[in-house]
Each structure stands twice: as C-alpha cells, then as structure tokens.
Homo-oligomer: A and B are copies of this chain.
Amino acid sequence: MNANAEDPTELPTAHRVVLLSRDDRLFHVILAQQFDRELIADLCRLAEMLRGIAEARPGAQFLRTLLGHKRAMLYFIQPSTRTFLSFAAACQILGMPYNEVRDPRTSSEHKGETEDDTIRVLSQYFDLIIMRHPGEGFAESMAHMLSRMRRTIPLINGGSGKDQHPTQAMLDIYTLFRSLGQPLNERPKPDFSGNPFEGRTIAFVGDLKRGRTVRSLAYLLCRYPGVRMLFVSPPELQIGEDIIEHIGQQNVEYDTHDDLRAVIGRCDAVYMTRLQDEWDTSGESKSIDYDRYRLTQEMAESFKPGLVIMHPLPRRQEIDKRLDADPRAHYWDQVRNGMWMRAAIIATIFHVDARIIDHYHSYYAR
C-alpha cells in the first residue's frame, strides 16, 4: 500500500478505506464503505445510549463534560440547514464548542487563497473539521492532506459532491434498525447485532442518480445477506452503474422499476427522495410523470402493516401530508436519529465512547 500516493483518491476503494482509518477504528469519516457490521452495530448502540442518557438532566450534564476540551469547525460551503444543525446539535450534546464557515464570500477566498490553504489554517484552530462541499471527492482529498500535516486532525464528510453522504446513511440504517419489525407505538428494542433485513424489501424511490444518500445507504445494506433492494425511478434518473455493479458483486438481490404504485404492496420499507431539479441543466425533469414516484394516502390500503416510510428531507410533493400522522411515517424520527448518530460518531472518533458505555451501564441498565 502506498501511503505517499500523490492523490490517494486514485487508489482502489479498499486501500482508501484503510488509509482513512489511520490505525484508529474511526478517524476520518468519508465513505460509507468504512462501516462494517460490527462498527454499525456499535455506533447504533452508542446512539441509543446517548438518547437514553440525555433524557434526564444529570445525564445530559454528564454528556456535556465529554468534549469540552475540543473544538469543531463546521465548514459548510454547500447550503444545508438540516445537516448543519444536526451536526451542531451533536456537538452541543457532547459539550464541544464549534464554529462555522458557511458563506465563502466572507472568507479569505476572495483574496485569492486556495481552498487547501483555508483548510490547513482551520486545522490549526480546531480539533475536528466537518465538511459539506459541492466538490466531487473534495472531502476525501482534504482528509488525506490533513493526514500528512504535523498537526493531524480528523475530518467528517457531511455530504460531498453527488457522491457520498456517509453519516446520512448511518442515520438511515439506525432508523431502519429501530423500526423494521418493531412495535408501532412503543419504545423499540432493536438487536443491532442481528440482521433485520433478511427477506425484507427496501424500495428507493425518486431521483436515484443525483441523490447521494441512496448511494451511501445501498453500500451499507449490502453488508446484510438476504436484503432485497428495489430502485424505482424514471429511467433517466436510475441509480448509478457503479452501485448496481457493487450490489451484484455482493450477491444481493435487486430490481429496478418505474412506477411505485405497482410495487408498494411488496415493500417493507420505502425510502422516498425528492426529484432534484436544481441540478437540471436543460429541463430534464419536465417530462417526468411525477405521480409514479409519489406516496399518497390513497395507496395506504395496500401498505404492509409494518411498512417503514422514510425520507431524507426536504420533501416537496413526494409524500402526501396526510400520511404525516400515520405511525408508519418515520421521517421526523430520522431527523432526530441523525443527531444521536452523529454524536455517536464524534464520540467514537475522540475515544469517549467507552466513558458513555460505562455511564450507561452504571445508571440505566439493570
């Protein structure tokens, strides 16, 4: 393995994943491929503990002592309220002060500085960089640059290019664990080491070509034998060939379709996404029959009783507002799950996961 490669993003994925870990279980968080089943289980379990501990005031106060000695930079060059606030709340839960750069116009970039230099400067002030950026592969190449500096700090990819969004995939799989086969109106008791996906059909609906959350989640699901994936989208917005190829190599069953109405009855979970026409260059979305990629109240009679309805938000018309009150709607839960999952990831990076587990077992477990 060539650790001195000029551009490590040119290496095969397996090698890149190893490079990112830096002998740590979790250091830079860049690709969904970094998470194996054991790490997924541990992070979900930690998120669940954080949620329980934070419920009571003394627990919340304990959590705020964990990372008060560290500082995070939220470098969010691409607009995003939701992901930004989710990470910000995660930092606050762990007591970690943070700062933000959101609008490149207020930065030094207009003075002609390269973005590499900006990131290097930030790495002098902060102990963690969380980055959302429109550049394909940018987060990964910055992670490798940081690894070569005297003062090395971890970087979390909060969404980069049209490529990957690993923390969203982690919150999605955490949400699936908490809802697939779980009781509807009670506190779930998921087995994070198990495989609730066996024999289940997860449908991904909408713009699968440009939606990076679906790509990242598909990678994670491939780790669970017996899962079935169904990609429902207009043919011109189908999921990338690279994902299909990866799924094929893992011997995971999948299918593609172009009308949700025809397949909704067989779904155990349906992951709706927005048609991202803001990326359109020549009105490609004009000819789409949106009714085929919409979940309506009328379709509810053909839902399975335990169907899990998800959406990464923001939504537009893809989900009928009348479904909001349905206990099978889990998209608001996803939002809150994201905050706990991101806190779990940050805690693990800084090695305070063991302290959280100890605290949990001392006070909450029987």
> Which residues does A use to contact B, with CB under 8 Å?
54, 57, 60-61, 64-65, 68-69, 71, 73, 79-82, 85-86, 88-89, 92, 97, 99, 101-103, 105-108, 110-113, 117-118, 120-122, 124-126, 149-151, 274, 276, 278, 313-316, 332, 335-336, 339
Partner of A122, one of B85, B108, B126: B85
| Contact call A68/B64, Cβ cutoff below 8 A | yes
Number of copies of this kind of chain in the complex = 3
| Contact call B60/A68, Cβ cutoff below 8 A | yes
Residue of B nearest to A103 (CB): B106
Q: List 15 A-B contacts (CB under 8 A).
A: A61-B65, A61-B68, A79-B105, A81-B118, A85-B99, A85-B101, A85-B122, A103-B106, A108-B313, A110-B278, A111-B276, A111-B278, A113-B315, A125-B336, A150-B332
| Contact call B117/A315, Cβ cutoff below 8 A | yes
A255, B268: Cα distance in complex, Å: 69
Partner of A81, one of B101, B150, B314: B101
| Contact call A125/B85, Cβ cutoff below 8 A | yes
| Contact call A99/B106, Cβ cutoff below 8 A | no
Distance in angstroms from A339 CB to nearest chain B CB is 6
| Contact call A54/B71, Cβ cutoff below 8 A | no
| Contact call B111/A274, Cβ cutoff below 8 A | yes
| Contact call B121/A107, Cβ cutoff below 8 A | no
